[in-house]
Structure 1
Amino acid sequence: MKKRLFLQTEFDILTTQQAEYLLSKSRHGCYEHGEEIGRILAHQLRQRTANQTIPAINDEQGSKCTDSLKINSCFQNFYQVLYTSECPTTPSVLENFLRSLHVPSVDPNIADSLGKDFSALEIISAIGSMQSGKSPGPDRYLTEFFKKFSDQLAPLLMSVFEESLSLKTLPLTMRQAVISVILKKGKSPLECNSFRPISLLNTDAKILAKVLARRLEGVLPSIISPDQTGFIKNRYSFFNVRRLCNILYSPSPPGVPEVVLSLDAEKAFDRVEWGYLFSMLERFGFGNKFISWIRLLYTSPIAAVRTNNNLSPFFELKRNTRQGCPMSPLLFAVAMEPLALALRQNNDIRGIH
């Protein structure tokens, strides 16, 4: 069994290297065949369009829908239910859960710095760090536009952000998102839950989230255990893969059974309850000002679903961390850490060292 796992690990490494080589080769081909670039891109565009087409979907009763508008309605209903809170936060329940946990806290001075006023330079830097070539949000303004005019736009954005915080709500367009769905590999194309939702946010909202994310990412390593490598700055998933390999190939104490358990949280980002998330931010010692900025991002957000070039009506969201928002993976790490703390601090569970 150990030999099989070792060979599988080696195969995965070789596969990754091959994928990197093929990606590099495909980019080289675009440069080499410059005069044919139009045809290459046209072919890629046709392939992408074909992959995004959803010819049929099962509705809530299990009946297959092939009408384009009905397909869109099925997805709207699915996400409207998914983003409806199922677990209203009860303070007493949270307190009972957290009472026995030792939760690390952000240094008070650092917590204060997280909530400091924005500067135009900080906004310009955040804009410059954003990736170009991304799909725009509902207002169709690209990241490239904000990069081109960042010096002129930064003071205006700073004023909008500050006024929004004082009013405790963002402008309507900054609360909007269009959900684009992508079929997960190996999943049935007839089920709505087989698709991954990507929220296309307007760029001004992403800039606000980016500024906050850049502040938060520097703090998380001090409160998130090294065991959690996902989404944490300077940590990588292969750290845990290497740790697992070390455990598998290390001598086991005689008579001590070892178990490796792999769990997948279904619709993990989509099921994050906001009340719980805000409580965790408070418990970790983030300052009131910084938490107010996070609350602002999650005050009355709305979304519409796009399928087959059809756009559903907008509907309210009551939970989730939007995949496509710079803050989402960081907030998800914060939301998951109390569970990891509970496992580590449980006297009935002993880890392998």
Structure 2
Amino acid sequence: MYGLTTTDHIPVSMTINVDNLPDCSRSTEDGANGVKVNWAKQSKEDVMFYCVRTDVLLREVQLPMDAILCSNINCDDDTHCNDLGEMYNSIVSAIYEASRPLHTHPRKVKNTKPGWTKYVAAHQEAAKTAHRAWVIAGRPRQGPELEHKKLTHARYKYAVRFVGKHEQALRAHSMAENLLGNNVTEFWKEVKATNRAKAVLPCHIEGVSGGDNIAEQWRLHYAALFNCIKSEPYCVGKLKEEVIHFTPSEVYHVIEQLADNKASGKDNITAEHLKLASPRVAALLSICLTGLMTHGILPDTMLTVTLVPVIKDKAGKIGSLDNYRPIALASILSKVLEKMLLDRLSEFIYTTENQFGFKAKHSTDLCIYALKEAVESYRRQGSTIFLGFIDASKAFDRVNHHKLFTKLKLRGVPGCIIRILVYWYAKQHMQVKWGNSLSSPFSVGNGVRQGGLLSPALFNLYMDSLSKQLGKCKTGCQIGNTLLNHLMYADDLAIMSPSTVGFQQLLDICSEYGVEFDVKYNAKKSVVLICRTKEDQKLHFPTFYLSGQSLCVSYCTKYLGHIITDRLEDDADMYRQRRMLYVQANMLVRKFHHCSDDVKVRLFRAYCTPMYAAPLWVNYKKETMCKLQVAYNDCLRILLEKPRSSSASKLFCDSGLSTLQALLRNLMFK
């Protein structure tokens, strides 16, 4: 230690009893082995080396000729299944081994402060060199070696103090240099480093402490949730269809569409592993996946999903199970297979026009707009409208597998696709990761697959029958030649009717569908809005019931993140946006006040100009818009540290930012 240190601190040895300290671990997203590849920091030579190495290792993958040439879709030869599993594992192993020289192991070191390389690193090295020379000279108490050691050490300590004292200014200068150099990636990396702190996991969850114990607590929680629906195993039977073939070009195209910088599954393979590998990987995967489809099986590593609980409300109870949502980490190769299956299923799993969720060229804005226009159309004609916003508890997690596969069969989905999904859903197992602790695996009996690309489409299909039943009902809003009585965005359902009898009829249809297809509605979170006309303001309407429970009548609710009132006024939603503006501006000025004006303008554009559902604001008071404009102007003044008396128009003009009115016009016609 004394031979390497460049400080004059004296070490102290002591023994501390820490048996009763709580276990506080940090959240982690590293792979199962704690290693990962930082592809952004790899040089072109490293990437080329990885590509060549994958090509060499993939050449060694043994092809089970009997299994891959087998065209019997009902083949039950265990040897074929085992050989295909070994081939898949060999491909994964080759990809992983090729990237091993690029692995970075997590080290518990302090983050490098901004400016360290520029101002400190050289002095640190000089101090170390002088210290070694002084030690070699016999640690003299006087002479040139000691004087040189003291001088270099003093310069090093001064540089450390300088960096620590000017840390924020140096970070701001670094961001400004990245911005001027058009280095967007490094700029936003600096922003995230300033704006984000790694969350410390709570020590107790529902009274349970200790990483391993909490992980098992989560396992019990999710095992109960994903096995709460009893259903009979689905029997596919003998198939008569032809084998589905995946081509290398198809696999290559799907790989190119994968998102980068995502966490890996248990196999530690990311999208970059596949994108930067030799083209040989696409050919081998096409052969292997075709063989797996032919025999209706999948490897174990593709069936494993790791769940990571993430807190939903930091201001809520952090020790409550209900305040967390699971993030699923699945194998990237499973997503490749799912994407190719999704392309083949698109012609079978279409849904009604009332479903807006997970569809191309559809958005939450469009769904909200359709709802408000339908209601406003009836209000203009002097008719009261009843709106119901139905909440389904854990809708994605309560899907009945047997009934889902039955729906797929009724749609004419090829039997080999249904068979592989049946195998996938029956054999999948999950584990819960809490910090560095990993729970034991558990099976899954209901719910669409966590983290799957197919899951949204399958859920839409599962709920499509409800949409059709509601559509067949002869009550609702007649818009031209179209009867509109409901809108759906995935599991968010809104129903509407101009009559109380018709509205209750729609609720009864939802209740009956819930009983038949295991959809559990939450009457406490479901809300009824009565958009009254002036003549009906004093009328008393009957109580409405959903699944035998009465529904609460409110004057406003939040639907798809947009606040809707019984008078269709947008003042409440604009107030929400005004509060959000001040929150963002205060956060920016607190964390980035040392930055240059150019950096602050870029941050203002990124954090303050996006205004969700702003194009839907049509019915509001002039005073509300004025307050929003004042807030928008004030936020720029706050961030740029300008007095409130300064001209907002000049600030927006000089910074190249849009005024509020120009911004709203751009959002509306975008």
Q: TM (normalized to structure 2)?
A: 0.41
Residues in 1 aligned to 2:191 and 2:460: alpha-carbon distance in whole angstroms? 39
Q: Deviations over 1:96-118 (max 9, x none)?
A: xxxxxxxxxxxxxxxx89x7421
Query: What residue is the counterpart of 1:340 in the other structure?
Result: 467
Residues in 1 aligned to 2:301 and 2:467: alpha-carbon distance in whole angstroms? 37
The structural deviation recorded for 1:255 is: 7.8
Query: What residue is the counterpart of 1:88 in the other structure?
Result: 231
Query: What residue is the counterpart of 1:182 in the other structure?
Result: 310
Residues in 1 aligned to 2:450 and 2:335: alpha-carbon distance in whole angstroms? 12
Counterpart contact for 1:218–1:233, Cα < 8 Å? no
1:257–1:150 distance in 2 versus 1, CA, 3 Å: farther
The structural deviation recorded for 1:43 is: 4.7
Alignment length, in residue pairs?
294
The structural deviation recorded for 1:216 is: 3.0
1:195–1:260 distance in 2 versus 1, CA, 3 Å: same
Counterpart contact for 2:311–2:318, Cα < 8 Å? yes
Query: What residue is the counterpart of 1:32 in the other structure?
Result: 179
Query: What residue is the counterpart of 1:207 in the other structure?
Result: 336
Residue type matched to 1:350 in 2? G
Query: What residue is the counterpart of 1:295 in the other structure?
Result: 422
Residues in 2 aligned to 1:85 and 1:54: alpha-carbon distance in whole angstroms? 28
Query: Does the residue aligned with 1:50 lie in a helix, a strand or coil?
Result: coil
Q: Give the structure with higher Rg (CA).
A: 2
Residue type matched to 2:437 in 1? N
1:73 pairs with one of 199, 216, 220: 216
1:194–1:89 distance in 2 versus 1, CA, 3 Å: farther
Query: What residue is the counterpart of 2:262 in the other structure?
Result: 134
2:397 pairs with one of 270, 287, 290: 270
Residues in 2 aligned to 1:299 and 1:325: alpha-carbon distance in whole angstroms? 15
Query: Does the residue aligned with 1:249 lie in a helix, a strand or coil?
Result: helix
Counterpart contact for 1:30–1:40, Cα < 8 Å? no
2:204 pairs with one of 56, 81, 103: 56
Q: Deviations over 1:246-287 (max 9, x none)?
A: 123224387854211112222222111211110111122222
Counterpart contact for 1:269–1:321, Cα < 8 Å? yes
Query: What residue is the counterpart of 2:326 in the other structure?
Result: 197
2:277 pairs with one of 114, 125, 149: 149
Residue type matched to 1:121 in 2? S
Residue type matched to 1:144 in 2? E
Residues in 1 aligned to 2:177 and 2:276: alpha-carbon distance in whole angstroms? 26
Structure 2: any 5+ residue segments left out of the alignment? Answer: 1-174, 235-240, 480-670
1:350 pairs with one of 448, 467, 476: 476
Query: What residue is the counterpart of 2:377 in the other structure?
Result: 250
Query: What residue is the counterpart of 2:357 in the other structure?
Result: 230
Q: Deviations over 1:126-147 (max 9, x none)?
A: 1111101110001111110011
Structure 1: any 5+ residue segments left out of the alignment? Answer: 1-27, 59-63, 92-111
Residue type matched to 1:143 in 2? A
1:179–1:42 distance in 2 versus 1, CA, 3 Å: same
Query: Does the residue aligned with 1:182 lie in a helix, a strand or coil?
Result: strand
The structural deviation recorded for 1:41 is: 5.2
The structural deviation recorded for 1:88 is: 1.4
Counterpart contact for 1:30–1:37, Cα < 8 Å? no
Residue type matched to 2:398 in 1? R
Counterpart contact for 1:198–1:322, Cα < 8 Å? no
Identity of aligned residues (%): 24
Query: Does the residue aligned with 2:255 lie in a helix, a strand or coil?
Result: helix
Bigger share in helix:
1
Query: Does the residue aligned with 1:127 lie in a helix, a strand or coil?
Result: helix
1:32–1:117 distance in 2 versus 1, CA, 3 Å: same
The structural deviation recorded for 1:289 is: 2.8
Residues in 1 aligned to 2:424 and 2:177: alpha-carbon distance in whole angstroms? 40
Residue type matched to 2:225 in 1? L
Q: Deviations over 1:17-63 (max 9, x none)?
A: xxxxxxxxxxx87942868877655556x62x316x233211xxxxx
Structure 1 stretch 290-299 or stretch 276-285: which is displaced more? 290-299
Residue type matched to 1:274 in 2? H
Q: Deviations over 1:160-210 (max 9, x none)?
A: 223323433211101111111222247543322332212211111111111
**Cα-Cα RMSD:** 2.9
Residues in 2 aligned to 1:314 and 1:308: alpha-carbon distance in whole angstroms? 16
The structural deviation recorded for 1:82 is: 0.8
1:251–1:312 distance in 2 versus 1, CA, 3 Å: same
Counterpart contact for 1:178–1:304, Cα < 8 Å? yes
1:314 pairs with one of 425, 436, 441: 441
1:187–1:210 distance in 2 versus 1, CA, 3 Å: farther
Residues in 1 aligned to 2:177 and 2:459: alpha-carbon distance in whole angstroms? 37
Counterpart contact for 1:89–1:276, Cα < 8 Å? no
Residue type matched to 2:268 in 1? R
1:166-181 aligned within 5 A:
166-181=294-309
Residues in 2 aligned to 1:217 and 1:236: alpha-carbon distance in whole angstroms? 19
Query: What residue is the counterpart of 1:12 in the other structure?
Result: none
Query: What residue is the counterpart of 2:253 in the other structure?
Result: 125
Counterpart contact for 2:254–2:336, Cα < 8 Å? yes
1:195–1:37 distance in 2 versus 1, CA, 3 Å: closer
Residue type matched to 1:75 in 2? W
1:154–1:242 distance in 2 versus 1, CA, 3 Å: same
1:296–1:351 distance in 2 versus 1, CA, 3 Å: farther
